Amino acid sequence: MPLKGEFTLPKNTQQASAHEKKPVGMLSTFFEYPEGVSFLNQGENEEIILLLRRDFITNVPWILTAIGLAIVPPITAVLSSLFFPFFTLSGQTLFAILTFYYTVVFGFILLEFSLWYFHVGLVTDARVVDIDVINILARDVSEVYLNDVKDVSYAQKGALATFFNFGGIFVQTNVTLQNVEFDSVPRPTEVARIISDLVGTKPRE
């Protein structure tokens, strides 16, 4: 109960001032209190505490594939002039082939980047949301309210995960509700601790 003449900030303003929000970067994989981020069915006063994506190192295979695909045409041009000198195409046809080829390479990059970019985990002050984009035609959105969380655990498996400090987070509920799993997220110990602090349990390895 405020004293007479005392000015009291609303609860939301108090929370916002306690945690400074910062604009989230394009390639952010671990970001606390992101600014300018929202998701479908977000509550009016629901605050995003943590934004998670798979560690950037998990993108290396498709980035290398894209670089490999990008250098295929010059190599093919050299080889075809050596082994198939009789096979000639007009400049216009070559231009069309190359333009199409690099459009496909661009499409591949756009697809792979989108699969990574939209595959996010969100921890809010009310729930844990996991948006899994499995492929271009399949996505799986699961969420668990913090009240229903029974256990939070994490796992780091393999040399790469240990070296780059990423791993899986498992947010478990009782048997009647679905569980949420974040895979290959950076700093799993810290993520587990943040969720556990919100829930009021101890993280388990």
What is the helix (H) or strand (E) element at residue 65, kind and residue range?
Answer: helix 60-70
- # residues near other proteins by CB under 8 A: 37
The stretch among 59-67, 137-145, 174-182, 191-199 that binds other proteins (CB under 8 A) is: 137-145
Among 133, 155, 160, 177, binds other proteins (CB under 8 A): 133
169-188: which residues touch other proteins (CB under 8 A)?
Answer: none
**CB within 8 A of 18, min separation 6: which ones?**
none
Q: Is residue 137 within the footprint of other proteins (CB under 8 A)?
A: yes
Residue 45 tokens read as 């006063």
The stretch among 101-109, 150-158, 164-172, 181-189 that binds other proteins (CB under 8 A) is: 101-109
The stretch among 105-113, 145-153, 169-177, 181-189 that binds other proteins (CB under 8 A) is: 105-113
Instruction: Round to whole Å and give the CA distance between 28 and 58.
Output: 13
In the chain, the amino acid numbered 166 is F
Taking the complex as a whole, how short is the minimal distance between the CB of residue 22 and other proteins, in angstroms?
11
Rounded to the nearest 5°, which phi and psi values hold at 34?
-70, 145
**CB within 8 A of 132, min separation 6: which ones?**
119, 139, 140, 141, 142
Q: Is residue 93 within the footprint of other proteins (CB under 8 A)?
A: yes
Q: Is residue 100 within the footprint of other proteins (CB under 8 A)?
A: yes
Instruction: Round to whole Å and give the CA distance between 49 and 13.
Output: 15
Q: Are 141 and 90 in contact (CB under 8 A)?
A: no
Q: Is residue 38 within the footprint of other proteins (CB under 8 A)?
A: yes
Write out the residues near other proteins by the rule CB under 8 A. Answer: 23-24, 26, 34, 36-40, 87-90, 92-93, 96-97, 99-100, 103-104, 106-107, 110-111, 113-114, 117-118, 120, 122, 131, 133, 136-137, 139, 141
